Amino acid sequence: MSLWQKAWKRVRHAGWWLLHEWFYDLGWFVNRIFAKTFSKPEFYGLENVPRKGAVLFTGNHMSQWDIFFMHYILPRAAYWMTKREHFEVPVFGGWARLYGAYPVERGAYNREALNFSVKILEEGHLLVIFPEGHRSHDFQMGPGHSGAALVALRANALVVPVAFTGTEKINRRKEYDEQGKKIKPRVVVRVGKPYRLPRQDESGQRLDLDELGDLMMSKIAELLPPEYQGYYAPEKLAERKVEREKALAEKQAKRQARKAALKQGETGGTPEKTGETTSHE
């Protein structure tokens, strides 16, 4: 790459960053107007939003309006992991990039998106991921993808859980007052305390990605009413924990059996004789 090409690349990146910051400022203004025009917003736990440093924001996803309310609480411009299909839409794809979105292929291992996500956090930026990967059709939490947990673990990132309720009602308002006017839906946004994913459980056992994913999503579910928790309701989390413990016990038993078989093979394959004899008439 020539000197001029390097210089142009830096100028282009600087221009993109200025537009990115401008889009954040514009969104900050528009989202506040939108929130109060189409809903009755309530925000709790805003003191849990870090003002400095790298942060991974995770949230449940019921409506396209979740993005507006997530933007509402962000202290500065952020990056957003977004499904690749959005970038195939004319105009919208370019707008999404200026907004800070970058593509990920759903249902597949995305090394490039994973590495870029880790890099964003290592450079001290904000990153937003909705681990479910798509909007919930029944408005309950569905299974999350493990990619968000892997990003948080590799970057050792501070994670902030955010829970949304009521955003699904903005396009489905059916309540009316005595004058026949539509009643604005109540939208509640709860921000949980920041945390980092542990690598081990309390007993020192190394946690796998499924366990870390459940832990990450449970932090969001704890902020939601029971009817929204879905796949991450306490009883379902407990069931999966029992299943994992059972599978681990079976795996350890098989391992011990193999070790015993190998040890027996090393000693000759047959038990030692006791010296007892049987007489035959």
List the CATH number of the domain containing 156: 3.40.1130.10
Give CA torsion, residues 27, 28, 34, 36, to 10 deg.
180
Same structural domain, 68 and 152: yes
Same structural domain, 143 and 242: no
Q: Which of 87-91, 198-202, 211-215, 271-275 has the highest mean pLDDT?
A: 211-215
Q: Is residue 66 part of a domain?
A: yes
Same structural domain, 33 and 114: yes
Q: Is residue 273 part of a domain?
A: no
Same structural domain, 138 and 120: yes
pLDDT above 90: residue 277: no
**Average confidence (pLDDT) over 178-189:** 86
Mean pLDDT is lowest, of 72-76, 174-178, 180-184, for: 174-178
pLDDT above 70: residue 187: yes
Alpha helices by DSSP H, 44-168: 65-73, 92-99, 111-122, 147-155
pLDDT tens, residue by residue, 215-237:
999 999 999 999 999 999 999 99
| The two three-digit tokens of residue 3, written as one number | 């000197």
Q: Is residue 277 part of a domain?
A: no
Same structural domain, 144 and 255: no
Same structural domain, 174 and 221: yes
Q: Is residue 91 part of a domain?
A: yes
Helices 3-38 and 65-73 pack at an angle, to 10 degrees, of 100
Query: How many structural domains comprise the chain?
Result: 2
Q: Is residue 219 part of a domain?
A: yes
Output DSSP code: residue 255: H
Q: Is residue 33 part of a domain?
A: yes
Q: Is residue 162 part of a domain?
A: yes
Report d(CA 216, CA 219) in Å as an integer.
Answer: 5
Same structural domain, 22 and 87: yes
| Chain mean pLDDT for the chain | 85
Global pTM?
0.83
Report d(CA 194, CA 160) in Å as an integer.
Answer: 5
Amino acid at 279: S
Contacts with 102 (C-beta within 8 Å, 6 or more apart), sequence order: 79, 80, 81, 82, 113, 116
Helix (H) or strand (E) holding 47: none
Same structural domain, 160 and 53: yes
Same structural domain, 174 and 241: no
pLDDT tens, residue by residue, 234-257:
999 999 989 988 888 888 888 888
Specify the pLDDT at position 43.
Answer: 97
Specify the pLDDT at position 6.
Answer: 65
Same structural domain, 167 and 245: no
Same structural domain, 150 and 257: no
The pLDDT-based confidence of 202 (bands split at 50, 70, 90) is: confident
Helix then strand then coil, % of the chain, to nearest 5: 50, 15, 35
Q: Is residue 2 part of a domain?
A: no
As to burial, measured by CB atoms within 10 angstroms (0-12 exposed, 13-18 middle, 19+ buried), residue 110 is middle
% of the chain with per-residue pLDDT over 70? 88
Range of the domain at 254: 233-264
Specify the pLDDT at position 17.
Answer: 64
Reduce the DSSP state of residue 107 to 3 states and report it.
Answer: coil
Report d(CA 93, CA 96) in Å as an integer.
Answer: 5
pLDDT above 50: residue 280: no
Same structural domain, 164 and 149: yes
